[in-house]
Structure 1
Amino acid sequence: MSDVKRILVIDDEAAIRKFLRISLASQNYQVIEAESGEGGLEQAALNGPDLVILDIGLPDQDGHAVLTRLREWSPVPVLMLSVRAGEGEKVRALDAGANDYVTKPFGVQELLARVRALLRASPAPNAALSAVEVDGLRVDLAYRQVTLNEMPIALTRKEYAVLAMLAAHAGRLVTQQQLLREVWGPTHVEHTHYLRIVVGRLRQKLGDDPAAPALIMTEVGVGYRLKAPLA
């Protein structure tokens, strides 16, 4: 198996992509390119890159939104690029899950050093989970799609968010507080009735009998667990 590292560059400026492609290829990295946020997410799902270089100013959605969606299913290191040099912008990106931040224009040697550092710090990002399948239920975390026995299931944003978090930790307990904090926000960690309502709706849509659940199990007073997929 090749040990060549794959780097996904998401940037709408052709000149920047060319500059990065030449610079990274000179260090024997394989470069994958996308010029939009949606295209970048698709390439990330299809190619499992070892590192993502993500521009904040994209035409279809900003890089912060792309990063948020990517972090729903992938721990791949992300190096953000931006012409915005303000401290607040950097803090926002890092708090959202970026691993590093470089301001344009940048020097190629500095960029390559940061790339090497991120790859050393995260040697196996390709273990990222992009989809989970359990007893006919498929949760595609990359494309935000849910099917049951190959039939699409329509979910609300909150329903999908809860199911996606359970799927990302399939087989493991996710506490009520974790779910409430991630889906509703830190000011709602005591509002467990929100969670009970959403889980009830999910079970109804998935045909999961609440009296004898086969997919979403309840750990009373603690949290929920999605059945582990077969190895």
Structure 2
Amino acid sequence: MDKICFLVPYYNHPQKIKILVDRLKSYQIHIILIDDGSSDKDVLEALGIDILTHSQNEGKGRALKTGFEYALKNGFTHAFQIDADMQHDLNKIDKFLEIYKNDKKSIICGYGKYDKTAPKSRIYGRKITNFWGYINTLGGHFEDFMIGMRIYPINNKVILKTKSNRMEFDIEILINYYKMGYKFKWIEVDINYDSISHFKMLRDNFLISKMHARCFFSLPKFIYKKIKNELV
């Protein structure tokens, strides 16, 4: 039987987290927040939800891995990732859950609505990442790798295969789910560009490039498995 939880990676968004949690509580879905070494413990303790804690900041990807591990141990089959910065339109939660009710096997992902207010760095960054995602999956179609609003059927093999621990995690885990044969459903999501992001331009772009290179050099193994499966 399927069982879904909200998974919220968190690092220093004290002004928004209560608003977000109150909104999520209205869905009567279990909430798991992963505190990735934040400095506002008092704010979190007052939320009245499950909180997992890292003693120091280990990165968004590492926080999500901790959340996935806890969810699996507690019988959850699906995780609805919601980023704590509230950049993404929470009104779309209902749409995600509507699709989930009728499709428990697909990855349900948000993709950004990029209009004239979107920073050029976001637009170009998405195009570059989508290009390398296409290469590293031998033609997989992805609307957006960077939006942290998505529902996963939790697959521990995929999680263990995903080596990334920071912002590049959101990209690599989708590549790995695709390679494992999962299908994707996409929902357009409005983005609040005024929201504070912890994305570090130099460090995280370097880690994203490193992750894409690692995926690229693992392609021969993926090609071999794909040919082998087609011959069976």
- The two structures have a TM-score, normalised by structure 1, of 0.35
Whichever structure has more helix as a proportion of its residues is 2
**Higher RCO structure, 1 or 2 (CA under 8 Å, sep 6+):** 2
